[in-house]
Amino acid sequence: MEKIINKIEEIALKIDNLIKTGESGYSETSNQTGDIQLKLDIQSDEIIEEEFKDVDSIKAIISEEKEDILNLNEDGEYVVCYDPLDGSSIVDYNLSVGSIFGIYKGGLNGENIVASIYIVYGPRVEMVKTIKGSKPIHYRLVGDKFVEQGEITMEQKGKLNAPGSTQKNWYPYHKELIESLFQEGYRLRYSGGMVPDLHQILLKGGGLFSYPGTTDKPKGKLRDLFEVIPFALAYIEAGAEAIDDKGISLLELETEHPHDTSPCFFGSKYEIAKVREAYNGK
Ligand code: AHG
Ligand code: MN
Ligand code: MN
């Protein structure tokens, strides 16, 4: 596992450099989800594949940008699922973006994630590493080294509300939930990049990030293996919660296809109790 983590740190430096120096704009291809790929999406994916190729402990990789699983080493212990560049729709407008990695041992389900790492490429480059069973650890890039900043612990309640997806397609009970938080004084914080949005809530110690099922997309948009489950591990180990629209922990998600998506809610205990109340029986 340590080798994989070291590789991810090297990858982060390369992708950061790519974002700063690479070409903007779209390629001519789409990914499995149907999104038109940016040149940066494809190049970030190539960087990661290249770096992971010589890590013996990686059995296979699954990328948001690849249709199928790519087998690397038959005797490898881990499958690494990743979103090379999260925030394709905002990177060319110079908002913060990220990379997300979920490291799985055994089947590709929530309960088999053993570690997750995400990187935020913002005014600073930061990394959060969560090993199952321990608190997430926050790092900041200083020169070419990630320097530890401390453990992350969430409070019982926060002040931020980050509601994703298209409001016109929200179910009435979801609309009521989001509105009730604003009525309580919560402030809107939504950039369109789940990495900086979830990172802000984690570091400020509380709040709610939601990406619900909607009338046009009942299973939501965010992908289980490389977006939802890795962040669920970070939130749950930080003492917060991460659930789906049935109130089930996102670490209990069972996936059938690498690109499956799920409605998801990440937040401190108070806000998640409100989600459960709003969604009860729906
Ligand atoms: P990606 O760039 O990897 O396709 O994912 C973007 C995701 C996520 O970062 C963000 O929270 C969400 O899409 C935003 O979607 P909406 O604009 O529909 O809210
Ligand atoms: Mn993404
Ligand atoms: Mn992506």
Per-residue pLDDT tens digits for 218-257 = 999 999 999 999 999 999 999 999 999 999 999 999 999 9
Whether residue 6 is found in the same domain as residue 145: yes
Q: Does residue 22's CB lie within 6 angstroms of at least one atom of ligand 1?
A: no
Supply the pTM of this predicted model.
Answer: 0.98
Whether residue 195 is found in the same domain as residue 134: no
Whether residue 127 is found in the same domain as residue 244: no
pLDDT at 196 over 90: yes
Whether residue 167 is found in the same domain as residue 145: no
Categorise residue 94: left if φ over 0, alpha if ψ from -120 to 50, beta otherwise. Answer: left
pLDDT at 41 over 90: yes
Q: Dihedral sign, CA of 205, 164, 103, 246?
A: positive
Whether residue 15 is found in the same domain as residue 125: yes
Whether residue 182 is found in the same domain as residue 58: no
Q: How confident is the model over 263-280, as pLDDT tens digits?
A: 999 999 999 999 999 999
Whether residue 62 is found in the same domain as residue 133: yes
Q: Does residue 83's CB lie within 6 angstroms of at least one atom of ligand 1?
A: yes
Whether residue 41 is found in the same domain as residue 137: yes
Whether residue 7 is found in the same domain as residue 137: yes
Whether residue 24 is found in the same domain as residue 130: yes
Residues with CB under 5 A from ligand 3 (ion): 64, 83, 85-86
Q: Shortest CA distance to 65 belongs to which of 30, 92, 99, 18? A: 30
pLDDT of residue 281: 86
- Domain of residue 51: give its range: 2-151
What is the CATH number for 110?
3.30.540.10
Whether residue 201 is found in the same domain as residue 122: no
What is the CATH number for 221?
3.40.190.80
- Among 151, 182, 213, give the residue marking a domain's end: 151
- Among 102, 124, 151, give the residue marking a domain's end: 151
Q: Give the count of domains, the chain.
A: 2
pLDDT at 167 over 90: yes
pLDDT of residue 33: 87
**What is the dihedral angle through the alpha carbons of 18, 21, 24, 26, rounded to the nearest 10 degrees?**
-30
pLDDT at 194 over 90: yes
Whether residue 164 is found in the same domain as residue 142: no
User: If you take atom 11 of ligand 1, which residue's CA is the nearest one?
Assistant: 194
Residue 227 Cα, ligand 2 centroid: separation in angstroms? 6
- Among 151, 170, 186, give the residue marking a domain's end: 151
